[in-house]
A and B are shown apart, each in its own frame.
Chain A
Amino acid sequence: MNRDYGRSIFIAVFLAPALVLFTAFVALPGVRALLYSLQRWDGLTEARWVGLDNFARLFREGDLFLIALGHNLFLLAVAGSLILVLALAFAAMLHRRIRGAGLFRVAFFFPNVIAAVAVALLWILLYSATDFGVINAALGAFQRMCHSFGWDWPRVPLPFPFLDSRYLLYSLIPMMVWSAVGFYMVLFLAAMEGIPEEYYEAAKIDGATPLQQFRHITLPLIREVFTVGVVFLVITSLKFFDPIWVMENQRPTRDSHVLTTLLYQKVFTEYNVGYGSAVAVMLFLLVFCATLISLKLSRAERVEY
């Protein structure tokens, strides 16, 4: 009896800190975000209940929300597919034991651990439209080379304003691919290394080409990890924030807003807490759905050999 009592105390003591912190700073604020999204509030004066009015605003014609969401989805679709294709290709190459594979793995992953703010600053310097912008300088050299061959190409006047709001989303894509490929490559590589070597040996005896081996052995067997990767990609591109915030000097425009920048601007510069919270709730619902779908998929499609 006495020991049971001591055991309960032990359990309570060990759980209490986590429970208190998580409830007070994650769970309850989460619920309050739902409540805020049903109110009109400027953060100071009395809040007013408005039902689903904030959500109705989000989906009104021409509202920033759908535009911002569209930008998130654009980044996900373009940068995401590039990332997945390159990561799969690199992982497949390193998996087949190319010399220096360890070095490549270490180097490719590194941009992923750099702060997003630092990555953004690095690419600001690379993209700069002044004389010392590296990418513009390279394009200029390319253009001069083309001209010397007598080609009138490329026609774009240089320096090209990569960091202008209008082009920012396109300019972000190389940056995102640059910093994220290594992560997905290492993720896929870890899954590939779990595939028994015998499968490949058997396939080789049957005369399968490397491409066929990749298509019929590697791909099906890393499907589960691939799904995890896709979901991670969806979630990170929905939460995308830091680089746009830095590159736009804290003032994104209609051309460059994404969900989180919109949320920040609505709440902290326009004091429209209800609207901002509605954006946050939508973000939550999207992340939630992505996670659920992935769980469903990864269970349904588990391949057994």
Chain B
Amino acid sequence: MRVTLAKSAACLLLCGWFAAVALPLGWVFLNSLRSSQEFVANPFGLPWFLTGSPPDGRLSLEELDAAGARHDAPEIDLPRQLRTQFDLLDADGNGFITEEEARAAGLGEAQWGRSLRLADRPGSRRAAWKEVKANYAKAWVESRFSSFFTNSIIVTGTSLAGILAVGAMASYVLARFTFAGSRALFLFFISGMMIPAQLVLVPLFFQFTWMSQAGTRLLQPFGLELQMHDSLSGLIVIYIALSLPFTILVLTGFFKTLPGELREAGIMDGCGEYRVFWHIMLPLARPGIITAAIFNFIGLWNEYLFALVFVNAADKKTLPLGLASVSMQSQYKTDFGLLFAALVITIAPTLLVYMLLQRRLTRGITVGALKG
């Protein structure tokens, strides 16, 4: 009896926490599909295309059905070529094709008829879909989330490739070769784990200034200039350098577990050291590399402080930076539809990666705790 009581209490607690995690995220997603006015009117409402009752006195889906629109919805009886042309026909982009628009496109009454007019009444599913997309379209184009997103992809992708390449090479040598100072070198890298990124933030800021000046002076004869501030490559270099200690710690641990005979066998068969690394060791180290990649990906995709310090130009901002600036600019403060859509755009990629790789991620969690 007592055991079942404890068990149901545990269940209750777990379900409660599950709701606390899932509900706010679901709330964000649903509200990204509603206009700001709808949100302000009722923050807990569902998108009207789900409930079927549109705001501001439009016809509901039932009323439309009653008016016979159900049978005439363009999804059903529009000719295929017309359906793909819907956006072309919809000249003013409001989601409804008016009679004038249809006529302007050279369509006769016979071709589009009464059905299309009804189907395009405000409140139709197609009109709803246009509204659903409106927040995302606004965030993506007007608020430049397309650019933030691209920058995030470039920065995270390049940094990740750099970290893994540079880190794997160094880790392999540190793990499998002993030479004068090899132990000291390993400790040198690992000591970086104890350095909070905040310590090097300020010196790097000034270092970038004089590096740009010196680099530009050097490159002047070639008509080039070096810009470290406000450039994605500057950010990438920092990200790679700061991620090395963690990556090297993880990967040396991994390379050490691989049998040493493999290398000797490879050398015997006439492989050079380089080929042994590339064709034998690297493929075997894949699980370790993936673990390092996941934790670095999450850290870099979400990184804010360094991006804030080193990037000012709007066209170089990464997603966290863009999201923060949108949420702090007063002009957007009441554009809730936009804020929710921006949140979804920022969260979705991590959600995707997490869903795909969560097994590896939670299995390698002890490694993740090292990434302080």
A residues touching B (Cβ–Cβ < 8 Å)?
Answer: 6-8, 10-11, 14-15, 17-19, 21-22, 24-30, 32-33, 36, 43, 86, 89-90, 93-94, 98, 100, 103-111, 113-118, 120-122, 124-126, 131-134, 137, 178, 181-183, 186-187, 190-191, 210, 225, 228-229, 231-232, 235-236, 238-239, 241-242, 245-246, 249-250, 259-260, 263-264, 267-268, 273, 276-277, 280-281, 283-284, 287-288, 291
Contact = CB atoms under 8 A, between A and B. Distances in A.
A109 B199 contact: no
Contact of A228 (B174, B201, B366): B366
Nearest to A191: B366
A25 B204 contact: yes
A178 B20 contact: yes
22 contacts: A11-B173, A14-B172, A29-B199, A33-B199, A36-B203, A113-B353, A114-B302, A115-B319, A115-B350, A117-B323, A121-B324, A121-B327, A122-B343, A125-B336, A125-B339, A132-B336, A235-B196, A238-B196, A245-B304, A268-B205, A283-B196, A291-B193
Contacts of A225: 366, 369
A25 B236 CA distance: 11
A182 B172 CA distance: 33
B304 A241 contact: yes
B365 A17 contact: no
Interface string B76-117: 000000000000000000000000000000000000000000
Contact of B192 (A26, A104, A182): A26
B15 to A, nearest CB: 9
Contacts of A103: 18
B43 interface: yes
A73 B21 CA distance: 26
Interface stretch (B59-67, B124-132, B219-227, B242-250): B242-250
Given A18-B248, A98-B14, A190-B362, A134 B43 contact: yes
A241 B304 CA distance: 9
Interface in B281-299: 298
Contacts of A186: 362, 365
Given A10-B273, A110-B351, A90 B369 contact: no
Interface in B319-353: 319-321, 323-324, 327-328, 336, 339-340, 343, 346-347, 350-351, 353
A280 B323 contact: no
A108 B17 contact: yes
Contact of B198 (A122, A242, A263): A263
B199 A283 contact: yes
Most chain B CB inside 10 Å of its own CB: which residue of A22, A33, A291: A22
B371 to A, nearest CB: 8
B200 A26 contact: yes
A210 B44 CA distance: 41
Contact of B202 (A104, A236, A249, A267): A267
Most chain A CB inside 10 Å of its own CB: which residue of B3, B25, B277: B25
A236 B198 contact: no
